[in-house]
Homo-oligomer: A and B are copies of this chain.
Amino acid sequence: MLRYFTAGESHGPCLTAILEGFPAGFAVDVAALNHDLWRRQQGYGRGGRMAIEKDEAILKSGVRFGETLGSPITLVIENRDWKNWQKKMSADPADRDPDLAVTRPRPGHADLAGVLKYHHADVRNVLERASARETTARVAVGSFTKQLLAPFGIRVMAWVAEIGGIAADHSRLTPAEVFERAEHSAVRIADPAAEERIIAAIDQSKERGDTLGGVVEVVATGLPPGLGSHAHYDRKLDGRLGGALLSLQSAKGVEVGLGFRMARLPGSQVHDEIFFDGEKKEFVRRSNRCTRSTSARRTRPWPRSSARTCAPFRPRP
């Protein structure tokens, strides 16, 4: 069982993750992890902070000579701006300064809920942890975990499917092609026409002092049938993925396969019929509309399971 904790305030000295249960003897690629951290910081119209922080993970335990030991892996990402926050985010009671207190809770954040729940007088005591910067530690953990799956032929990819209501048309591409093209796009989208319109929309939104939302697609290929289980509610794959995705800051929806469109289509257009290929002696499907039935996913030419997250994309003035 893999487990992980994340810790760290947005303007604290660093973010820390402990990843426990990672197998021993695995050659981890720290450069690939740092590439994933770099990737998290890209995006047209991002806030100024992204320019300040060039995240890099430092390994403090669990890896020796490039290989995992089987012991807990500590990943530390230092906050480069810490020198400007040492006093304001100090752990030392002597540095307390009531004048610093943030007293105006922002909507769309955990600010108000947090101060009411934890009895804080300073909204900063909430916003520092509720910040999207916390996901940096999750990206680091996820990067090593993706590396662990790679030798099994499993690949996890994600890209932007739409921003501000402008959706990509990449329906004729394979997941690997979509991913490849999106990686070279300023808004991580595989459709140049959509990209152009999105950039214009972001610019306009910025001018108005407003923000846009978006949809991200996550696709895993090469998965064996039977991940998760039908046997108990807390082992079900859809539930676990859905729980993980909705735990992301600002995510307000998750779909698996066709998602909500399934609710509007007749069953005959929703399910993926199962055929048996007598020659190859394997089950095949000619559609992939419903991840619930992607058990035989490996037998399809371009397996594809998609979970969509509605993550508001927020350019700031």
What is the interface of chain A, defined by CB distance below 8 A to chain B? 1, 3, 5-9, 12-16, 18, 20-21, 24-25, 27, 30, 59-67, 69-74, 89-93, 95-96, 105-114, 116-120, 124-126, 128-130, 134, 138, 162, 164-165, 205, 208, 210-215, 225-226, 229-234, 236, 238-248, 250-260, 262-268, 270-274, 283, 285, 290-296, 308, 310-312, 314
Q: How far is the CA of A229 from the CA of B70 in the complex (A)?
A: 9
Q: How far is the CA of A271 from the CA of B54 in the complex (A)?
A: 30
Q: How far is the CA of A7 from the CA of B262 in the complex (A)?
A: 29
Given A16-B60, A114-B295, A253-B253, A263 and B312 contact (CB-CB distance below 8 Å): yes
Residues B264 and A213 in contact, CB atoms below 8 Å apart: yes
Contact of A310 among B124, B205, B245, B262 (CB under 8 A): B262
Known: A64-B124, A260-B260. 4 other contacts (CB 8 A): A7-B73, A69-B126, A112-B283, A255-B260
Residues A232 and B5 in contact, CB atoms below 8 Å apart: yes
Given A91-B66, A252-B256, A252-B262, A267 and B60 contact (CB-CB distance below 8 Å): no
Residues B251 and A252 in contact, CB atoms below 8 Å apart: no
Q: Show 12 residue pairs from A and B whose CB-CB distance is below 8 angstroms, ordered by the A residue.
A: A1-B1, A16-B61, A24-B120, A59-B91, A107-B290, A108-B292, A126-B230, A165-B264, A252-B260, A253-B262, A262-B312, A267-B314
Residues B265 and A96 in contact, CB atoms below 8 Å apart: no
Task: Report, nearest first, the 5 A-B pairs whose CB atoms are least far apart.
Answer: A243-B243, A113-B295, A117-B226, A66-B93, A239-B247
Residues A25 and B119 in contact, CB atoms below 8 Å apart: yes
Q: Which residue of B lies closest to A297 (CB)?
A: B113
Q: Which residues of B contact A61 (CB under 8 A)?
A: 7-9, 12-16
Q: How far is the CA of A130 from the CA of B230 in the complex (A)?
A: 5
Q: How far is the CA of A277 from the CA of B314 in the complex (A)?
A: 29
Q: How far is the CA of A59 from the CA of B91 in the complex (A)?
A: 7
Q: Which residues of B contact A9 (CB under 8 A)?
A: 61-62, 64, 69, 71
Residues A257 and B252 in contact, CB atoms below 8 Å apart: yes
Interface centre among A27, A70, A96 (most CB of B within 10 A): A70
Q: Which residue of B lies closest to A59 (CB)?
A: B91
Residues A65 and B225 in contact, CB atoms below 8 Å apart: no
Q: How far is the CA of A124 from the CA of B266 in the complex (A)?
A: 25
User: A240: shortest Cβ distance to chain B, in Å?
Assistant: 6
User: A40: shortest Cβ distance to chain B, in Å?
Assistant: 15
Q: How far is the CA of A135 from the CA of B46 in the complex (A)?
A: 43
Residues A5 and B5 in contact, CB atoms below 8 Å apart: yes
Residues B253 and A60 in contact, CB atoms below 8 Å apart: no
